[in-house]
Structure 1
Amino acid sequence: MVRNEARRTALLDAAIDVLAEEGARGLTYRAIDAKAGVPAGTASNYFANRDDLMSEVATRVHQRLMPSEESIAESLALPRDRSLSVKFMHDIIKRADADKACYLAMMELRLEATRRPDLRTALTKTVADSLDFNVAFNEESKLPGDRMTVLLMYFGMTGLIYERLTLPGIVEPMDLDELIEVLVNRAIG
């Protein structure tokens, strides 16, 4: 049977919304079908099992959170200095704010990965590949810093986004611009 890729994507997007709203326990085929507005049983035709579904959701989350090629090209037209690294970190925050469901879904997937070895393997590969891509991008773009710089900024930004989404009262009193600038400056050294 030929699969409709647009429908598959719509089901994955619906699954992201369900994860963000109800957590991993609420992620059922029925909930996905309802969120996507498709006939009951549709999601089960596209995803063989829960592990397959969650693995594909993790991939879709990363696709949705990737910056556009236009945005990257526009940024790379600027001088390759610390201020550009700061701009890239601000862009990450903007994407997180624009698509909170993706980050919340990723948090749910990471928690679920502690109980599902296959999901842990798939998610570890996706995140490791993303980190390798970011390190290579930093080097090829001749941005300041080395691999450790990129890793420090990744872990710092991940924690910052996590706090902003789950306990915003922790971060709200702080000056976000200053926080990001200090993070970048200290990571770069």
Structure 2
Amino acid sequence: MVRNPERRAALLDGALTVLAEQGARGLTFRAVDTAAGVPAGTASNYFADRDDLLTQAGAHVYIRFAPDPQEAERAMAGASTAEDVAGLMRWVMARMRDNRTVYLALLELRLEATRRPALRGTLTRRIRQDLEDNVRGHLEAGLPGGRAEVVMLYLAMTGLVIESLTLPGVLDGEGDADALIGALVHRILPADGEG
């Protein structure tokens, strides 16, 4: 049978929606078919089993996260200071908020990955590559700090995004996300002009 790549993408988008709304327990072929708006039984023609669906959804989540290359280029244009890095982190946070469903699906996939080796391998490779790309981009742009600082920013931002998108009340009274981003960037990166 010839597989339609657009339909596969729609099914994977449907899987991410189901994961975000119902969690991994709700991820069935029927639920994916419904979320994708396709006839019943379609998902079973595209995925061998639930593990296959989860693993492919884990790979697909980063397709959905990928910014438009021109948008990313505009965000990076002229960035050279810690304040510019804070601006980039605020842009990342806005993208996560705008893609809340996809991010929540990723959290569900991360939890499932603790029990599914194939999914764990897929997510580990993809997230590791994303981290390496961030380090390389940071260094190539000549932004302040080095590899260790980029890793710390990644870890801090991951925590901030999780709290903001899942339990925002945890941070009540701590300042808004933009202020928190500014504070963490300025604590992690060396002062402008220092190396």
TM-score bucket (shorter structure): over 0.9
CA distance in structure 1 between the partners assigned to 2:38 and 2:146 by the alignment: 47
Q: Are positions 1:48 and 2:48 aligned together?
A: yes
CA distance in structure 2 between the partners assigned to 1:79 and 1:154 by the alignment: 18
Unaligned runs of 5+ in 2: 191-195
- TM score, norm. by length of structure 2: 0.92
Residue matched to 2:180: 179
| Residue pairs, 1:31-180, within 5 angstroms | 31-173=31-173, 174-180=175-181
Evaluate the alpha carbon distance shift between residue 140 and residue 168 of structure 1 in structure 2; reply closer, same or farther with a 3 A threshold. same
Partner AA of 1:96 in structure 2: M
Alignment check: 8 A CA contact 1:33 1:40 kept = yes
Alignment check: 8 A CA contact 2:76 2:88 kept = no
Q: CA deviation at 1:101?
A: 0.6
Alignment check: 8 A CA contact 2:79 2:143 kept = no
Identity of aligned residues (%): 48
Q: How many equivalent residue pairs?
A: 189
Evaluate the alpha carbon distance shift between residue 79 and residue 118 of structure 1 in structure 2; reply closer, same or farther with a 3 A threshold. closer
1:158-188 deviation per Cα after TM superposition (whole angstroms, max 9, x unaligned): 1111111211112243232221011111121
SS at match of 2:62: helix
**Please, what is the CA RMSD of the aligned residues?**
1.3
- TM score, norm. by length of structure 1: 0.95
CA distance in structure 2 between the partners assigned to 1:172 and 1:45 by the alignment: 47
Unaligned runs of 5+ in 1: none
CA distance in structure 2 between the partners assigned to 1:107 and 1:90 by the alignment: 20
Partner AA of 2:171 in structure 1: V
Partner AA of 1:176 in structure 2: A
CA distance in structure 2 between the partners assigned to 1:75 and 1:98 by the alignment: 16
